[in-house]
Chain A
Amino acid sequence: MTDLTRRQLLKAGAGSAGLAMIPFANPLGFDLRAAKKIQQEFRLAGAKEVHSVCPYCAVGCGLIAYTKQDASGKTRLLQIEGDPDSPINEGRLCPKGATAMQLATSSRRVEKPLYRAPGSTKWEEKDWDFMLGKIAQNFKDSRDRTFVAQDANGNVVNRTEGIAFAGGAAFSSEEGYLATKLMRTFGIVHIEQQARV
């Protein structure tokens, strides 16, 4: 019994049966570690197990996230831990991966679009429609001003010289692919990401 990990217990399903046995395995209840473990079991009992991957370096450690729906129906993240089935990390995580929960539920998130007008000394909250409308117009104006259809030698080059796109070492591959497809379609030549730096 003591060799079983909590996850094996949960997996075995018996969430409830397995958990119920632990107090009997340690009837005096003096072992703090066991008590903590039990506390955690109750917190995660009935939680949904969702698979993710660590957002930090490129080892690609598998994560298991535990979620539950609260009374209002909103999904709450309870815990993140290493995925023991992964041939890459076999359940292990480093200090960054082990604190991924704090990144996931950060209170420091920017929650609304922010706009700084030229020369302004402060952010203003704006709605998405304002932001996307203005960016679309800026993008088109810059593209039209700096687009080169033919170079000095008469070669067709169809490139936008005055807009750059950079980024995307932390978003999904599908998003990255879409970024490339769109930016090349707009004629962007300055397209770069973290790989260079």
Chain B
Amino acid sequence: MTNHWRDIKNADVILINGANPAEAHPVGFQWFVKAKLDPTKGPGNGGGAKIIHADPRYTRTSAVADTYLRIRTGTDVAYFGGLINYVLQNRLYHDEYVKNYTNASFIVKQGFDFTDGLFSGYDKATRSYNISTWAYETEGDALAGPAGTTQPRAKRDMTLQDPRSVFQLMKKHYSRYTPEVVSSITGIPILQFLDVARIVGEMGKPDKVMTIVYAVGLTHHTTGAQLIRSGALLQLLLGNMGRPGGGMNAERGHANIQGNTDHAISWDILPGYLRIPAPGQKTLDDYVAASAPKKSDPNSWNFFGTNYRSFMVSLLKAWYRGAATKDNEFAFHFIPKPAVNSSWMSIYDQALKGKMEGVILNGMTATSIGPDSNQVLQALSNLKWLVIMDPLPTTSSEFWRAPGMDAAKIQTEVFMLPTTHWIEKDGSFTNSGRWTQWKEQVIPPAGEARHDHWIFMELFDRIKTLYRQSGGKFPDPILAMTVDFDDPKKPTMDEIAREINGKDLSTGKQMASFGLLKADGTTTAGDWIYTGSYPDAGNLMKRRAGVQDPAKNDPTGMGFYPGWAWSWPLNRRVLYNRASADLEGKPWDPKRPGIQWDGTTWVGDVPDYPPTMNPKDPAAWLPFIMNGEGTGRLFSSSLNDGPLPEHYEPIEAPVLNPLHPGQSESPTAFLYDQAAGRPNRFGKVDQYPYVATSYRLTEHEHYVTQHVPLLVGLQPQAFVEVPEELASEKGIKNGDRVRVSSARGKLEVAALVTKRLGPQTIAGKTVYTIGIPIHWGFVGISAERYPELSKNWLANALTPFVGDSNARTPEFKAFLVNIEKIS
């Protein structure tokens, strides 16, 4: 989230796409309801907000919404694109914001083009783009870039009239997204779309603000990154980024998914979103030049780019203290350099190819999470060894005896290590709104269960001993790694939290801010975005100044509660908050200030800006300090599949793309099977005529709750939701057992016949959607009680093994199936 849960109450309009907060984040949803119903506040002040929910399924979120739009899954770019077009055609954008705070005025190079569904630079053989034409026209003197490089200054036209300005290119691009086209792609009736467009169009006024809330209903598509970007573009046009009550707000689904993304349990990054180095980078300079944002405007601070080296060196010093010296590039070559994408599906892809020997699954189960569970089961069978670290049995710890598997033929050596639960240890969780809350240990570990971090350090110690005794491949980083704990095998969470924050090696004091980190090797920071969470004053994540005293603990009245826990970066509660105020530093809406200039300093939230920089100074920095441009990007060359979001159909779709039937699906979506030389297994609409999408229920969280009796009692058995009209066509009655099949697998479950789903008219054709809750498998209380019924309960047996070209997220939310009654 750019903002945070409680901040949603500050919105005038809440657009919800690809999410069902009332059921998946019920307690967070109270802030949506407050925005709408708070009787103590008037419109624009936390009451009377409009909620607009676009979703294929009518859910409890829809029931509370002012408007429910039945949108076909995966078509949100068309919906947001239609809203962008409406806002541009009717001049409803926030003019001053768009001119000064976005790259609308930047001129794009001659040669940039978009025809027949393809941007310029496409190479069919590699299914990728050469993005050289997706760049800015440059002029004048070069600007200083990172690592001694220079970067030409981007050419701008502040009138926004140049036909190659980002603004005009965008206007042209989205002019195709007329209400008629939007309707034919999404299935949303034209008049209903226009009603929503009028409400959204009002949100470009400076004293209005809208938030966009989304979840994995946007990310789980081969166009996932662009689906989200299309919402962000709309927010930039309306001037809603950086403002309380605004922003792009991802609702994340696991207690600490945010914290462990920040700490880079992710193939392509190091802690704090530093990029993983690439082959060919010989020095830190090479790395920084290739990774850090480059300044393209004289008024851009380019804070991230400018400090990239300090952050990286401080990380290397945290990890390899004495072994990281100026002479060895601070141990830069201790960090592995991946050759190719090494993300989630690649792990199993490599196992299918016989190239992956061992996998450690720590608190997640590959079999259930998928995609393509049957193929994942094969992949796990190909491993030499598999380690499961979990408090409870999972479909991966038990994979070798899954229904249909022959354990005697599976040579994988399997280790189940019982670990402690969240309540048996302390440490921090970072929530969706970036608030990092410390939790205490409540009870001692059950049985012989051990803490995950103690298992890690014990294993590390044993492996290090093996290398010391018998040698082996490149032991240097293993022997050199900093282990700065009183008991090397049993570190405390407190010790690790202090390491993450970092310290000044010359004084031994904890760092107070990442702004003070140095590139000379005299400071450490395990994760620079958490620097400041644990200064010498103590662990700020433990703070508890909450609603017990709102007058004292929420001094601005905006719901920031700066003394409750700690949020990254630097306890800032709304990211990009410089953009909440105008050029002179006055809040766009005085009733809902983020930060404001009081003549000598910025007050309010922790400023995303130098605290004493006078906004009237001609040299004052532009607001978006993390970008090289200093502005928000309406047009961006940072994604693989286009500088402007475009609607593409899912890989398995019920219709051809009405915009460009010749290039119906994403031209760059990653097709794992095809790339590996295995046959693609995609279903066509003649055999698999129905769209399917998957989701969560309130009573379960993925798979762990299959072990919680009360929750199993509330939602005992696997089922699919089938629209009444389709059920009637197929002779399916409520409660009947049905078989749902895709080109990859099948599900045999109960049918729940419902009005929540319904037929849609898409490009003139009737399309049905079937809804699939994800929670069941062959492990858990229900599976044990119904061993025969539960043989085919894995929802991801159906899903395709394909990924978004940017993030490689699987397409869980849109694929084709057939359904039949089991007689």
Contact call A96/B701, Cβ cutoff below 8 A: yes
Contact call B390/A139, Cβ cutoff below 8 A: no
Q: A58-B258, A119-B409, A196-B344 are in contact. Are A96 and B698 (CB under 8 A)?
A: yes
- B253 interfacial by beta-carbon distance below 8 Å: yes
In chain B, what residue has the closest Cβ to A59? B28
In chain A, positions 54-77 with a C-beta closer than 8 Å to chain B are 54-63, 65, 67, 74-77
Give the residue of A144, A179, A197 whose beta carbon is less than 8 angstroms from that of B472.
A144
**Chain B window 444-456, contacts with chain A (Cβ cutoff 8 Å), 1 for yes, 0 for no:** 1011111111011
Provide the residues of chain B in CB contact with A171, threshold 8 Å: 256, 260, 362-363, 419, 422, 427, 452-453
Q: How far is the CA of A54 from the CA of B6 in the complex (A)?
A: 17
Provide the residues of chain B in CB contact with A121, threshold 8 Å: 401, 407-408
Give the residue of B336, B358, B363 whose beta carbon is less than 8 angstroms from that of A159.
B336
Q: A174-B497, A179-B362 are in contact. Are A97 and B27 (CB under 8 A)?
A: yes
Provide the residues of chain A in CB contact with B711, threshold 8 Å: 95-96, 99, 102
- B384 interfacial by beta-carbon distance below 8 Å: yes
- A1 interfacial by beta-carbon distance below 8 Å: no
**Chain B window 782-822, contacts with chain A (Cβ cutoff 8 Å), 1 for yes, 0 for no:** 00000000000000000000000001111010000000000
Give the residue of B266, B397, B472, B564 whose beta carbon is less than 8 angstroms from that of A192.
B266
- Select the residue from A177, A194, A195 with max chain B CB neighbours within 10 A: A177
Contact call A178/B496, Cβ cutoff below 8 A: yes
In chain A, positions 88-105 with a C-beta closer than 8 Å to chain B are 88-90, 92-97, 99-100, 102-104
Contact call A196/B347, Cβ cutoff below 8 A: no
Q: A118-B412, A162-B356, A167-B364 are in contact. Are A138 and B389 (CB under 8 A)?
A: no
B583–chain A nearest beta-carbon distance, Å: 32
- A5 interfacial by beta-carbon distance below 8 Å: no
In chain A, what residue has the closest Cβ to B23? A94
- A29 interfacial by beta-carbon distance below 8 Å: no
Contact call A169/B260, Cβ cutoff below 8 A: yes
In chain B, positions 393-446 with a C-beta closer than 8 Å to chain A are 393, 397, 400-401, 407-419, 421-423, 425-433, 435-444, 446
A163–chain B nearest beta-carbon distance, Å: 5
B571–chain A nearest beta-carbon distance, Å: 14
Q: A115-B416, A196-B343 are in contact. Are A170 and B443 (CB under 8 A)?
A: no
In chain A, what residue has the closest Cβ to B711? A99
Q: How far is the CA of A160 from the CA of B335 in the complex (A)?
A: 11
Provide the residues of chain A in CB contact with B440, threshold 8 Å: 50-52
Contact call B256/A147, Cβ cutoff below 8 A: no
Q: A85-B547, A109-B391, A192-B347 are in contact. Are A165 and B362 (CB under 8 A)?
A: yes
**Chain A window 118-140, contacts with chain B (Cβ cutoff 8 Å), 1 for yes, 0 for no:** 11110100001001111111111
A interface, over-half SS: mixed
Quick check: which of B35-43, B474-482, B606-614 contacts chain A, the rest being far away? B474-482
Q: How far is the CA of A145 from the CA of B356 in the complex (A)?
A: 11
Q: A52-B422, A131-B415 are in contact. Are A196 and B266 (CB under 8 A)?
A: yes
Q: A109-B391, A140-B472, A173-B500 are in contact. Are A166 and B429 (CB under 8 A)?
A: no
Provide the residues of chain B in CB contact with A163, threshold 8 Å: 356-360
Quick check: which of A20-28, A35-43, A148-156 contacts chain B, the rest being far away? A148-156
- A142 interfacial by beta-carbon distance below 8 Å: yes
- A33 interfacial by beta-carbon distance below 8 Å: no
Q: How far is the CA of A86 from the CA of B544 in the complex (A)?
A: 8
Contact call B432/A60, Cβ cutoff below 8 A: yes
Provide the residues of chain B in CB contact with A92, threshold 8 Å: 27, 30
Contact call B466/A189, Cβ cutoff below 8 A: no
In chain B, positions 543-576 with a C-beta closer than 8 Å to chain A are 544, 546-548, 553-554, 559, 561, 564
Provide the residues of chain B in CB contact with A170, threshold 8 Å: 254-256, 363, 422, 704
Contact call A168/B363, Cβ cutoff below 8 A: yes
B96–chain A nearest beta-carbon distance, Å: 32
In chain B, positions 335-354 with a C-beta closer than 8 Å to chain A are 335-339, 342-344, 346-347, 350
Give the residue of B5, B30, B527, B547 whose beta carbon is less than 8 angstroms from that of A84.
B547
Contact call B448/A106, Cβ cutoff below 8 A: no
Q: How far is the CA of A182 from the CA of B234 in the complex (A)?
A: 41
Contact call A167/B413, Cβ cutoff below 8 A: no
Give the residue of B26, B439, B456 whose beta carbon is less than 8 angstroms from that of A51.
B439
Q: A167-B360, A171-B363, A193-B265 are in contact. Are A51 and B544 (CB under 8 A)?
A: yes
- A146 interfacial by beta-carbon distance below 8 Å: yes
Q: A87-B6, A138-B385, A142-B384 are in contact. Are A182 and B456 (CB under 8 A)?
A: yes
Provide the residues of chain A in CB contact with B357, threshold 8 Å: 142, 145-146, 162-163
Contact call B256/A57, Cβ cutoff below 8 A: no
**Chain B window 355-394, contacts with chain A (Cβ cutoff 8 Å), 1 for yes, 0 for no:** 1111111111010011100000000000011010111110
Q: How far is the CA of A157 from the CA of B455 in the complex (A)?
A: 28
- B319 interfacial by beta-carbon distance below 8 Å: yes
Contact call B270/A184, Cβ cutoff below 8 A: yes
Q: How far is the CA of A77 from the CA of B472 in the complex (A)?
A: 47
Contact call B449/A65, Cβ cutoff below 8 A: no
Q: How far is the CA of A54 from the CA of B481 in the complex (A)?
A: 33
Q: How far is the CA of A61 from the CA of B261 in the complex (A)?
A: 19
Give the residue of A50, A59, A172, A185 whose beta carbon is less than 8 angstroms from that of B425.
A172
Provide the residues of chain B in CB contact with A153, threshold 8 Å: 279-280
Q: How far is the CA of A162 from the CA of B356 in the complex (A)?
A: 4
- B473 interfacial by beta-carbon distance below 8 Å: yes
Q: How far is the CA of A58 from the CA of B251 in the complex (A)?
A: 7
Contact call B257/A194, Cβ cutoff below 8 A: yes
A168–chain B nearest beta-carbon distance, Å: 5
- B516 interfacial by beta-carbon distance below 8 Å: no
Contact call B705/A96, Cβ cutoff below 8 A: yes
Q: How far is the CA of A119 from the CA of B400 in the complex (A)?
A: 9
Quick check: which of B109-117, B457-465, B663-671, B722-730 contacts chain A, the rest being far away? B457-465
B152–chain A nearest beta-carbon distance, Å: 29
Q: How far is the CA of A142 from the CA of B477 in the complex (A)?
A: 17
In chain B, what residue has the closest Cβ to A113? B417
- Select the residue from A86, A137, A138, A196 with max chain B CB neighbours within 10 A: A196
B427–chain A nearest beta-carbon distance, Å: 3
Contact call A119/B408, Cβ cutoff below 8 A: yes
Contact call A174/B459, Cβ cutoff below 8 A: no
Q: How far is the CA of A92 from the CA of B428 in the complex (A)?
A: 20
Can you list 9 residue pairs at the A/B interface with Cβ under 8 Å? A50-B441, A55-B421, A87-B554, A103-B421, A115-B414, A119-B407, A161-B350, A168-B363, A169-B257
- Which 8 A-B residue pairings sit nearest by Cβ, starting from the closest? A172-B427, A111-B447, A60-B431, A167-B362, A169-B254, A176-B260, A173-B259, A136-B462
Known: A56-B255, A151-B279, A177-B500. 18 other contacts (CB 8 A): A57-B25, A57-B254, A60-B433, A75-B443, A87-B553, A95-B714, A118-B410, A131-B417, A158-B335, A158-B474, A164-B350, A165-B265, A168-B362, A169-B257, A174-B428, A174-B453, A177-B271, A193-B364
